[in-house]
Structure 1
Amino acid sequence: MKSILVIHHGQGVGGGLIALLGLIAELKENNRVHVLSIFDGIAVDYIRQTGATVTVAKSRFYAKFYQLFIHSDAAYFNIIDSIRNNKSVILYYLSKYYFAGKELKNIVFDYEIVYLNSIFISDWARASKLAKKKVVIHVREPLSRGLFKFKYEIIRQTINKYCDQVIAISHDNASRLDLQHKTTVVYDPVVTKNRSQSEYKLINRKFKYFVYLGGMARIKGFEQLVESLEYLDENIRIFFLGGESEYASHGLKRLVRQNLDPFFLKNKRLIDKLKKSGKIIHVGLVDDVFYYYENSIAAICPFSKPHASLPILEAFSVGKPVIVSDVKGMEELVDSTNGVFFINSDPESLAHKINEMSQVTEQDYEAMRTACMTKYKQIRERSDSVTSVLNRT
């Protein structure tokens, strides 16, 4: 039995959090687990539901000033974001050299391993290592090299110096960090507990159903999904799962965003277009996503930026093919036997592939379903587990 301190940023509800909840439940079976959340965000309530003890960082620095140092190819940047990102570099160093160590001293839990759940919190690695703990970091994001590699090297050198093990959720993420000597690729597990309990009756057999799980996140392909709606056949319906965009609704912040973020006004138009479309079944944030997989022909994953995606694995696990953009890294999981590719930034191409998938013959569709489940089985058989990596550390 090992004692593990899990450090998580505490923000967001998505595939990363789902995988973390499954991991915590698995770790608790044979280990002692305590969770430190940097922010008192929405994720904290979900983590507490696993029965794990959660401590939220007490320092005013994290509550009032700290920002995650996000340097990822799975992100869009405008003037506002660039300013915030440069500010976050300073905060990263303050956390790395002072505040993280101070916060760890407040933890009364006696632990031997620190597990950092995101590359965005690599600033906690130094303090963890100086406390004479084994440090494992989970590379869930595609680290960006940037133009001059300055920010890239800040993160990479910190991980190389202070982390004993690196876990990457894809080979693409592993290659970007380029620390192969200490990296293990572990694909996210598919968590089914409490996620397939619906008794909804939403299905009308005259329609062809698909599922999209990215909400209004731009990197998930929200923009090109909405723009594709006008090109879809009339019998297509899409279950729209996920959260909404969060912008300041009034005041100075809204005024600044409106003038400096070119996507702000466009996003409002996209939301209006989405709500008016008769081809969208708006579901929102739900835990029981497998009802929608099982009642759909395929999962639509129209990512506009490269990143590993749990919905692809979830779809494969129940024998559902996927429709994905041709961004870097998708070929790691998807090929012509288990899905189709469309041209990124081309909504008409996306619509064409959805229409095409809705008309596939029963024989070809069953072959794709078999290929999906075969691929998923191969991934699970060949992939290590986060628990195994932590136990070996």
Structure 2
Amino acid sequence: MKIAIFHELPFGGARDVVYYFGEGFTQNKIIVDLYYVSSKKDEREASFFRKIYFFKFVPQKWSGNNWKTRLYKDSIELYNLKNLHKKIAKKINANNYDFVLVNGSQYVEAPFILKHLSTFKIFYCHDPNYRIIYEKVLQLENINLNSIKKTYEKINRNFRKFLDKTNFKRADLIIANSFFAKKIIKKTYAKDSTVLYPGVDINFFSPKNVNKDIDIFYIGSHQRIDDFELLKRTLSTLPKNIVTKKIMYEDGWIADKKVILDYYRRSKLVVCLAFNEPFGLVAIEAMACGVPVIAVNEGGYKETVINDKTGYLVNRNPKELAHKINELLNDFNKLNKLSRNARKHTVKNWNWSLKSRLLSEFLKKIKK
């Protein structure tokens, strides 16, 4: 079997999953080529794919106030991206693949390429929908804008919703990364999907006997969707001597997984606070390293974290979160027990070699 993988994902968990796909397919004797759109090459992919096709696309940066740049991004830039996808699809169509595994776009979620591929196309949804236009917490009534900006934003979001749904419906088959995502896909697009979980490399993400000098480890961003404010409110109620390590997307993503691994191993616990996170790779990476996870009781976290066994699931409440953090940091035996459970649970249920085999078998079954 020969397949192509397409993505234009930002650095982060979803992009890492794509590389796990490549490695897993190769191990299961599937020929796999990568086509990806990015502002710069990612040198990590070389060992995962037979052939790699890189297409450079550099979006203009916009951080507010410059209306000309914003208008360009919402019109000409999207048009240029659509034409680039048409070009990529033509190349893929000419290479006679059995399938194309299409991943989400950081620019439009369901990418334009879905409209132009004649090869059987499977859309793997890392996010179940275009969250900035569908997620309740990001709706316009929750954002402080003047009437002109709010009107523009409303028109733009409706246009992007149209693009997203138009592209999405062109997928021949849809894979969700969790049952939570499956539910959202059905609600948003009225489409059925098959759940195939991603996993984690349990040989790389593993415990090590090192000094645990970080009490709380957090990976996220300042964006509303990651709810960093919840962590800030929680920390304000905790003892000042608690050591917290934060990796924020705005400070530059750390592509070197060895650096992230070192932080996991040095941490006593990891907190995961994003609103309706569809899966949450950070949680299973942490648990694979034997680090208990305290996550909000919603989204995909409910499918990965076992309450009071591998960590805690809490309400979105700073007092409750602080209570659980204090409880673990002050009970070495409990922390140790959850740590051992987290590792065992991940090895048994979230081993990437198992997940990639299931996905490979699924594709082979479709081909028949």
- Superposition TM-score, scaled by structure 2 size: 0.71
Q: Match of 1:21?
A: 19
Deviation at 1:215? 5.7
Deviation at 1:185? 1.0
Deviation at 1:140? 0.5
Q: Match of 1:388?
A: 361
Q: Match of 2:282?
A: 311
Are the equivalent residues in 2 in contact too, given 1:122–1:137 (CA < 8 A)? no
Residues 272-295 of structure 1, C-alpha deviation per residue, up to 9 Å, x if partnerless? xxxxxxxxxxx9664123444344
Are the equivalent residues in 1 in contact too, given 2:218–2:247 (CA < 8 A)? yes
Deviation at 1:221? 3.8
Are the equivalent residues in 2 in contact too, given 1:6–1:115 (CA < 8 A)? yes
Are the equivalent residues in 2 in contact too, given 1:197–1:291 (CA < 8 A)? no
Residues 317-376 of structure 1, C-alpha deviation per residue, up to 9 Å, x if partnerless? 3443211124444333334323224443x5454333311221236157516743773476
Q: Match of 1:287?
A: 257
Counterpart of 1:104, as a letter, is A
Residues 233 and 191 of structure 1, relative CA distance in 2, 3 Å threshold: same
Residues 214-263 of structure 1, C-alpha deviation per residue, up to 9 Å, x if partnerless? 366653343433443333234532343454436xxxxxxxxxxxxxxxxx
Task: State the SS of the aligned residue for 1:236.
Answer: coil
Counterpart of 1:125, as a letter, is L
Runs (5+) with no aligned partner, structure 1: 68-76, 247-282
Are the equivalent residues in 2 in contact too, given 1:12–1:41 (CA < 8 A)? no
Deviation at 1:169? 0.9
Are the equivalent residues in 1 in contact too, given 2:235–2:322 (CA < 8 A)? yes
Task: State the SS of the aligned residue for 2:243.
Answer: strand
Instruction: Quote the Cα distance in structure 1 between the aligned partners of 2:161 and 2:115.
Output: 17
Are the equivalent residues in 1 in contact too, given 2:311–2:342 (CA < 8 A)? no
Instruction: Tell whether 2:195 aligns with 1:185.
Output: yes
Task: State the SS of the aligned residue for 1:240.
Answer: strand
Q: Match of 1:39?
A: 38
Deviation at 1:109? 4.2
Instruction: Quote the Cα distance in structure 2 between the aligned partners of 1:307 and 1:84.
Output: 28
Instruction: Quote the Cα distance in structure 1 between the aligned partners of 2:262 and 2:182.
Output: 32
Over the aligned positions, Cα root-mean-square deviation in angstroms equals 4.1
Instruction: Quote the Cα distance in structure 1 between the aligned partners of 2:26 and 2:314.
Output: 41
Are the equivalent residues in 2 in contact too, given 1:8–1:36 (CA < 8 A)? yes
Match of 1:237 among 228, 237, 243: 243
Match of 2:113 among 99, 117, 124: 124
Instruction: Quote the Cα distance in structure 2 between the aligned partners of 1:363 and 1:196.
Output: 20
Residues 213 and 371 of structure 1, relative CA distance in 2, 3 Å threshold: closer
Deviation at 1:52? 4.2
Match of 2:291 among 289, 308, 320: 320
Instruction: Quote the Cα distance in structure 2 between the aligned partners of 1:216 and 1:54.
Output: 33
- Superposition TM-score, scaled by structure 1 size: 0.68
Instruction: Number of aligned residue pairs: give it.
Output: 331
Q: Match of 1:212?
A: 218
Instruction: Quote the Cα distance in structure 1 between the aligned partners of 2:77 and 2:85.
Output: 11
Deviation at 1:105? 2.7
Task: State the SS of the aligned residue for 2:197.
Answer: coil
Residues 385 and 135 of structure 1, relative CA distance in 2, 3 Å threshold: same
Are the equivalent residues in 1 in contact too, given 2:88–2:113 (CA < 8 A)? no
Instruction: Quote the Cα distance in structure 1 between the aligned partners of 2:202 and 2:349.
Output: 19
Residues 22 and 364 of structure 1, relative CA distance in 2, 3 Å threshold: closer
Instruction: Quote the Cα distance in structure 2 between the aligned partners of 1:304 and 1:369.
Output: 27
Identity among equivalent positions (%) equals 20
Instruction: Quote the Cα distance in structure 2 between the aligned partners of 1:368 and 1:193.
Output: 17
Residues 368 and 16 of structure 1, relative CA distance in 2, 3 Å threshold: same
Instruction: Quote the Cα distance in structure 2 between the aligned partners of 1:159 and 1:299.
Output: 34
Runs (5+) with no aligned partner, structure 2: 140-153
Residues 235 and 348 of structure 1, relative CA distance in 2, 3 Å threshold: same
Residues 138 and 90 of structure 1, relative CA distance in 2, 3 Å threshold: farther
Are the equivalent residues in 1 in contact too, given 2:226–2:273 (CA < 8 A)? yes
Instruction: Quote the Cα distance in structure 1 between the aligned partners of 2:277 and 2:22.
Output: 27
Deviation at 1:299? 1.6
Residues 185-213 of structure 1, C-alpha deviation per residue, up to 9 Å, x if partnerless? 122210246556989x6x26xx6733323
Counterpart of 2:20, as a letter, is G
Residues 45 and 85 of structure 1, relative CA distance in 2, 3 Å threshold: farther
Are the equivalent residues in 2 in contact too, given 1:169–1:185 (CA < 8 A)? yes
Instruction: Quote the Cα distance in structure 2 between the aligned partners of 1:167 and 1:363.
Output: 37
Are the equivalent residues in 2 in contact too, given 1:220–1:305 (CA < 8 A)? no
Residues 53 and 196 of structure 1, relative CA distance in 2, 3 Å threshold: farther
Counterpart of 1:128, as a letter, is L
Deviation at 1:88? 4.1
